Structure 1
Amino acid sequence: MSSIKQFQVTFDCAEPERVARFWCEVLGYVVPPPPEGFATWDDFDRSLPAEEQGSAFACVDPSGVGPRLFFQRVPEGKTVKNRLHLDVRVGTGLVGDERLAVLEAECARLIALGAERVQLLPADGVNESCLVMRDVEGNEFCLD
């Protein structure tokens, strides 16, 4: 039997720091300390060749439980639906109107951060309701 592996989730994006800071707010993640020898991430970034400056950023779960999120600059924009997305679990264990109220409250908070509401997927007898959203660069995710 193989052991469980750690993993990170990587986002392709145009503005890595902007998208990373959005997800820090969504998930309660934090920016990790800069590499040894640098007082700030800005100091580290300025040490890179000009073409690499601003090309990546990361955030981590302060409890160490969740995966690291890594954001890398790519030249092309998003053009189609994501093949992978995050489900932000805010309504776990809730059903009906109570669940919808929690989803709507979190949706309003995330819209204030720059997210976009796409659509409500109502409960269907098998799955509970969830809200499809987009982050600050249009990547889909669900409030579940």
Structure 2
Amino acid sequence: MASVKQVQITFDCADPERVARFWCEVLGYVAPSPPEGFATWDDFNRSLAPEDRGAWFACGDPTGAGPRLYFQRVPEGKVVKNRVHLDVRVGTGLVGEERLAVLEAECARLVALGAVRGKLLLADEENESCLLMQDVEGNEFCLD
């Protein structure tokens, strides 16, 4: 049996490039170069049939350590809570007020990029504090 070497995370969305560029800013990811023969992604999109323009976009960890993120346009909007979400690990190893300060600072940065702040879940006997958020299209994620 073969073992999995890489994972790609796929997002269904209305505007793939917009959502991808948001996540590039969140994670420090980069968009790939346009396909060979095209100077820009806009040039590439103009070469496609109108219905295929902007149908997908991707980004990746420049170090190669993290998974590739793929964003694909779907006709339906988001209507229910995600069954899978990303935890953006900004407070790893921190506790108490120090952890809360890091979560709040990152939240402020992401809200400026178009994210929506959700509920702050304070530490309990089993878990450290985390902050629920939504990306630019309402996909839930946690600052952890």
TM-score normalised by L of structure 2: 0.97
Q: Which residue of 2 aligns with 1:126?
A: 126
The amino acid that maps onto 2:102 is: V
Unaligned runs of 5+ in 2: none
The amino acid that maps onto 1:84 is: V
What is the distance in 2 between the residues matched to 1:17 and 1:46? 14
**Corresponding residue pairs, total:** 144
Quote the offset at 1:125 in angstroms. 1.1
Unaligned runs of 5+ in 1: none
Quote the offset at 1:3 in angstroms. 2.6
Q: Which residue of 1 aligns with 2:6?
A: 6
Quote the offset at 1:36 in angstroms. 1.4
- RMSD (Å) for aligned C-alpha atoms: 1.0
Q: Which residue of 1 aligns with 2:103?
A: 103
What is the distance in 1 between the residues matched to 2:41 and 2:97? 44
What is the distance in 1 between the residues matched to 2:2 and 2:128? 33
Quote the offset at 1:47 in angstroms. 1.2
Q: Which residue of 2 aligns with 1:53?
A: 53
Matches within 5 A, 1:1-144: 2-144=2-144
Runs ≥4 residues deviating over 4 A:
none
